Structure 1
């Protein structure tokens, strides 16, 4: 197998569509191909020999996927928008994006990694996902059958299994949305992260990076409890303990499931105290 450059990346085939329609045609005619955006994850996996895919559809020429807009309290973000662009543009509308940037692993990655790439990974290591979960994010896919809108919660549960191109992510702009995480050392690899947002009379949304194993998700038991209680100190304590009992994070070389559960409870407590202020 031939390799490219000093990184030792295997030889790959890259196709570059100039329209969404062309990208969809390529997805249909090359079922073994994957979408390539920034490549921050794919290039690493290729270098490590952990990825076998050798065909990629580079969508970076689809410039309309780099737009951010908001109207009547709802933001619509193109899948090629970078993490830095997203957070810096909407930071005054969603306080969680302040912490998201402050605790980001690397400015270089923040300026490359895309919103769409993070979502498609469905990974606990993607800090953006818990925030978007609390904001009721909805994904818009272009497919050969037309546009399909899928709630982020359903997507993470495997609700979209077809071949399509993620075009936009829409979510509420909420000034009472907060985020925090615990990371490992100078690498800032996230061990676990939690996000909350207050919906007023509709209660509080709670999401965690490791809801089940390494899959992010909303924590319905905690949300249900908070929906019937005023945020007192006692309620915050009970919600923190309930969080620990309601998630089943994976154990790996970075942290045990036991440790992640307890840290999640502590992070939730801090965030709920922010909501009380």
Structure 2
């Protein structure tokens, strides 16, 4: 049975407190308050399983925000000298011992944490010391690959982000042209895997394939706005991103390609569609 995660279990009997479910080996109680109305003995249910403070296995049909092995952005609902509790989306809050807090947690705050099981009693715990749980070698991606990001922390250089729920990388401030905050889930790309095995990230695709798609987008915008767009080589990266959601680097490669094809005329602050291209 996967404690701290979802399990497909069979209903085998009823008790005064709820239904007994089994994986063929262990029994777990599903309280009546979480039992679907049409559930019958012999049915299978997909439930989240956790251990109560007294050691009892308990199941719920509530949807947890995360499972063991996940990084998640959770809210602190209680704090004390020994630890804090965070809302997991079910009746059972998740405990974060003080020793697992990168910085002291206070009620009402939200933090990115990693969920794991206590080796001694299988109790579900969380930690904000993320570097203790990310992998830092044998990457299963290459430079240029699209990845899923969870923004985990703002630093002096940019934003740390969890990559594919497994690794950690850095999104530099000069690679960000939109509002980003801790807890955001974003699509990103691997910009660089450094020799020290640290990972640089970007929110923009790279490579010529992206230039090709950007050409179509810019041409469509030119035709839509009378053949003129007030953006050029000297335009601010933020203005370019606001209009096209691409970096200035990709923008310059794209308009450069259009210029070489004699489709547009360029200036520092304007691109113009050449007559006959509309």
- TM-score, normalised by the number of residues in structure 1: 0.29
User: Which one has the bigger helix percentage?
Assistant: 1
Bigger relative CO (Cα 8 Å, ≥ 6 apart): 1
- TM-score, normalised by the number of residues in structure 2: 0.29
Larger Rg: 2
